[in-house]
Amino acid sequence: MQNHPALPPTEVRNAASSGLDELPTLEILRVLNAADREVAAAVAETLPAVAQVVDAADAALRAGGKVVYFGAGTSGRLAVLDAAELAPTFALEPGRVEAHIAGGREALVRAIEDSEDSEPDGAAAAATLAAGDVAVGITASGSTPYVRGALRAARAVGATTALVTSNPASPLAPLADVVIAPDTGPEVLTGSTRLKAGTAAKLVLNGFSTALMVRQGRVYDNLMVAVVATNAKLRRRSVRILQAATGLAEAPARDLLAHADGDVRTALVAHLAGVDPAEAGRRLVAAHHDVRAALGLPAPTPEPAPQPAGAPE
């Protein structure tokens, strides 16, 4: 059977999984696992583009703007997941990184497949964007109308736009200042983009948001110093993080953290700068909560951010 030339790669049949329903259970899993191993290599090829979007988003957040994801189905759920996890992990304030899924909140737990076909809904979801913000559209096939509407609206107001897709020939590419297109190829189960394409989107978003939070100074060394300790497990983790960053024993680390109202960054700056927690807190506020900046340490120089290309014809 020949592949239809107009189909996106995610819709093409995969010869490597032919006869899938005739295989023993373990062999089915091996076929899936072999396909999964292809994904990381495909994402690796896109890292320069991901870095561009990270640096654009860093500039946007530092200027008081925001980053907004738009997606449908699996792509939208992954976007919502990524945005939701930034607050507890990095103490990110509400509204800085947001996500919109076609079909709204209900689509998170129940598939509303026709919602992705509404370009006006995508445009409406992007209505709060302004010049200087960053819009990231996520669509495995590269053709979702909801994402098209969002990117068009974002482009019209001068926001920087990015596209995450598993279709290197995506028709939405002209709407994006930066295209991130890991070439994951045909799915094991034809058209099921919750598989390789979904894994690729998850890897891209993991890398993007984590690197963005590193650039924002919400990480010190490789430590999660901005973690919001809302339960016993995270309070224990906060003590361990402070110990790792300072070399303190558990008891003095716990005592220092208590004097810093449980904030690891405040305790860390107080210890390393030799100041009291109140002064450490003031330095962090002045440095936009960037630990290295609060300590007077140099920050890395980012690559130039991509410039919005203006409204398309």
Query: Is a pLDDT exceeding 70 seen at residue 189?
Result: yes
**CA 191 → CA 70, 125, 237, distances in Å?**
21, 26, 41
> Which among 215, 243, 263 is the end of a domain?
215
Q: In this structure, is residue 181 part of a structural domain?
A: yes
Tell me the residue range of the domain where 195 lies. Answer: 43-215
Residues 266 and 202 in one domain: no
Residues 140 and 280 in one domain: no
pLDDT of residue 306: 61
Query: Is a pLDDT exceeding 50 seen at residue 312?
Result: no
Residues 79 and 148 in one domain: yes
pLDDT of residue 244: 97
pLDDT digits over 132-177, tens only?
999 999 999 999 999 999 999 999 999 999 999 999 999 999 999 9
Residues 271 and 207 in one domain: no
CATH of the domain at 256: 1.10.8.1080
pLDDT of residue 30: 97
Q: Active-site positions? A: 85, 116
Residues 58 and 187 in one domain: yes
pLDDT of residue 304: 58
pLDDT of residue 37: 96
Q: In this structure, is residue 15 part of a structural domain?
A: no
**pTM across the whole model:** 0.89
Query: Is a pLDDT exceeding 90 seen at residue 112?
Result: no
Residues 175 and 208 in one domain: yes
Residues 159 and 254 in one domain: no
CATH of the domain at 86: 3.40.50.10490
How many structural domains are present in the chain? 2
Residues 208 and 283 in one domain: no
pLDDT digits over 13-72, tens only?
999 999 999 999 999 999 999 999 999 999 999 999 999 999 999 999 999 999 999 999
pLDDT of residue 311: 46
pLDDT digits over 292-301, tens only?
999 998 766 6
Q: In this structure, is residue 12 part of a structural domain?
A: no
Q: In this structure, is residue 226 part of a structural domain?
A: no
pLDDT of residue 106: 86
pLDDT of residue 1: 41
Residues 175 and 205 in one domain: yes
Residues 208 and 262 in one domain: no
Residues 206 and 258 in one domain: no
